[in-house]
Amino acid sequence: MQFLNSEYQTLFGKVRSVYLVGIGGAGMSGLARILKIQGFEVAGSDRKVTPILEQLQSEGIHVHIGQQAPGFTHADLVIYSTAIAQDHIEMKYAREKGIRICHRAEALAAVFNQAETSIAITGTHGKTTTSAMVSFLLAKLGKSPTSFVGSEMLNFGSNVLSGAANNYFVAEVDESDRTHELFSPNYAIITNLEMDHHESYASMEALGDSFRTFLKRFHFPGLAIHCGDDAFLHQVVKSSGKPSLSYGLQPQNDFSARNIEFRSFGSEFDWYEGDFFLTRIRLFIPGVHNIYNSMGALIVCLQLGFNLEALKEAIFEFRGTRRRLEIKYDCEAVTVVDDYAHHPTEITASLRALQSSGRKVLTVFQPHRYSRVRHLFKEFAGALGEAQEVYLTDIYAAGEQNPDNISIKMIFEEAKKYGIDRITMVKKEDLVPTLLQRRVANEVIAFLGAGDIGEVADEFVSSYRSQNQA
């Protein structure tokens, strides 16, 4: 793959070696792989060994563990993410040595913006699954896309696909820190807009303004595929004047899902364009939110000229992404599910999807960021009201300080006001022993959160297996 446009040349033209601070993150690890594929010498650092870091090392990417001292003596370019503080030891070292520094999104956008056909997937919820769906459909239909997704795609065992040529580039584009404004796609799927990252947006209007800026940057044909059931998003898109197509459950959308039936960890629906019946779609992933995601993915592929029947067959083979309603363990007594849901809307969607199986669901929830809990503790309590039983554990700080002493008690006490009685506060270190003491029968245990709760899910599965094999 060759990238020759001016934006790319300005950033990477004289670069041979790249160092990524915090290389183990979902976005950073994906970027590292893409840069490695392009022929750069790639290395990076992170705090502790993880399976992702071990995999990167097996792919020939050197990883410095610890971050107590600089892990490099020379690099042409240092890349960091929003999670990395400016006073990080390696950031200070790079500035002292006069090494150029850029944000992850700036590097990704420089690569993405020169693709022949670029497809950006952004919005508050559903980005990862929708990006993976588009990537899978294009790959299944033989188009060999380059893809950058925020989680491992289960069909491929990676969060990156390396395209054979500079034709299709699919990217999950993060809106949390406004860096989506750097991207200039030919096509975009905007899943929804909702207040989540209060550190970046003071209001919904500020969020809308940011997406208006994003829409202005589109390249031809500049098609905005979006969820029309989201009235605020629909207004933002329509006011931009860009070509657009809407999807949703409401029949006034350009495309709509009707006559929905939910299966165990799956669904099917009649798909309409206007009032014209197109076909019946089957999905092997659960929840109404994935019906929305699938429509966005299918529409962009239809607009690219792909056959509907081929798309229909392909999408049923899509198996999802890591930590998105991922089944970690399944036996007659218990199914263990790991999910990234960390916003009230996502929690509600995940719980409704899980409960459609008809089984009892125990929810283990780890809130993510003190700032999010401060702004949304009432909404979290309301979302957890969907659960049959809840274990609420310690907040994952994600590097934030906590001067206001925000705690899970705010959610717990609000939940009690909602009349939610089956909610228990459990320290993170006590979760596995507490869960192992339960008598489970035909139960789903769902671990929800964007922090390290997935590691707890893995620990529980390992311990449960050992206990029941003894």
Q: Please name every residue paired with 188 in a beta bridge, in sequence order, or none if there are none.
A: 120, 224
Looking at residue 249, the DSSP 8-state letter turns out to be S
Amino acid at residue number 95: R
Question: Nearest 5°: phi and psi at 153?
Answer: -80, 120
Q: What is the pLDDT of residues 191-213, one digit of tens each?
A: 999 999 888 999 999 999 999 99
Q: Looking at the whole model, is its pTM more than 0.85?
A: yes
CB 79 within 8 A of CB 102: yes
Q: Quote the distance between the C-alpha of residue 418 and its chain's center.
A: 30
Contact 191/126 with Cβ under 8 angstroms?
yes
Among the four given CATH numbers 3.40.50.150, 3.40.1190.10, 1.10.3720.10, 2.30.30.100, the one describing domain 113-315: 3.40.1190.10
Cα 212 to its chain centre, rounded Å, is: 22
CB 350 within 8 A of CB 341: yes
User: What is the Rg, in whole angstroms, of the alpha carbon atoms belonging to the chain?
Assistant: 22
- Asked whether 138 and 300 are in contact (CB, 8 A), the reply is no
Of the pLDDT bands very low, low, confident and very high (cuts 50, 70, 90), residue 179 is very high
Helix (H) or strand (E) holding 339: strand 334-339
Q: Which CATH class is domain 15-102?
A: alpha beta
Provide the residue type at 356 as one letter: S
- In order, the DSSP letters of 272-300 are EETTEEEEEEEESS-SHHHHHHHHHHHHH
- pLDDT score at 3: 46
pLDDT band at 300 (very low <50, low <70, confident <90, very high): very high
Domains 15-102 and 113-315 share a fold: no
| 65 close to 48: Cβ distance less than 8 angstroms | yes
Give the three-class secondary structure for 330.
strand
Segment 324-329 shows an average pLDDT of: 93
Helix segments in 159-287, DSSP class H: 204-216, 231-240
Q: What is the pLDDT at residue 82?
A: 84
pLDDT score, position 265: 80
Q: How far apart are CA 218 and CA 231, in angstroms?
A: 22
pLDDT at 165: 63
Specify which residues 257 forms β-bridges with: 271
% residues pLDDT > 90 (the chain) = 81
Question: Which strands, in side-by-side order, build the sheet including 146-153?
Answer: 158-161, 146-153, 168-172, 117-122, 187-190, 223-227, 244-248, 255-263, 266-273, 276-283
Task: Specify burial of residue 446 (Cβ count, 10 A radius: 0-12, 13-18, 19+).
Answer: buried
- For residues 209 and 158, the answer to whether their CB atoms sit within 8 Å is no
Cα–Cα distance measured from residue 111 to residue 34, given in angstroms and rounded to the nearest whole number: 9
Instruction: Please give the full DSSP string across 32-60, using - where no structure is assigned.
Output: HHHHHHTT-EEEEEESS--HHHHHHHHTT
Q: Tell me the C-alpha to C-alpha distance, in Å, between residue 98 and each of 76, 92, 103, 147.
A: 10, 10, 16, 32
Q: What is the pLDDT of residue 199?
A: 87
Average pLDDT of every residue of the chain: 93
Q: Are 427 and 393 in contact (CB under 8 A)?
A: yes
* Per-residue model confidence (pLDDT) at position 5: 63
For residues 464 and 436, is the Cβ–Cβ distance under 8 A? yes
How far, in Å, CA of 289 to CA of 286, rounded? 8
Q: Beta 146-153 vs 168-172: how paired, if at all?
A: parallel
Q: What is the pLDDT of residue 364?
A: 98
Decide: 213 and 238 in contact? Cβ < 8 Å.
Answer: no
The pLDDT of residue 1 is: 43
Sign of CA dihedral 179, 44, 67, 102: negative
Environment class of residue 48 by beta-carbon count within 10 Å: exposed (0-12), middle (13-18) or buried (19+)? Answer: exposed
Tokens of 35: 């840069």
Domain residues of the chain, as ranges? 15-102, 113-315, 326-469
3-state secondary structure of 19: strand
Residue 465 vs residues 83, 273, 339, 430, 461: alpha-carbon distances, Å = 35, 48, 20, 18, 6
Mean pLDDT confidence for 12-37:
92
CATH number corresponding to 326-469: 3.90.190.20
Cβ pair 343, 249 in contact under 8 A: no
Beta bridge mates, 256:
248, 272
- By CB atoms closer than 10 A (0-12, 13-18, 19+), residue 397 is middle
Q: Which residue has the tokens 């029947």?
A: 309
Predicted pLDDT at 470? 56
pLDDT digits (tens, 9 = 90+) for 401-453: 999 999 999 999 999 988 888 999 999 999 999 999 988 888 999 999 999 99
Q: What is the C-alpha separation between 390 and 385, in angstroms, rounded?
A: 9
Six-digit token string for 380: 């979290």
Q: Which amino acid is at 249?
A: L
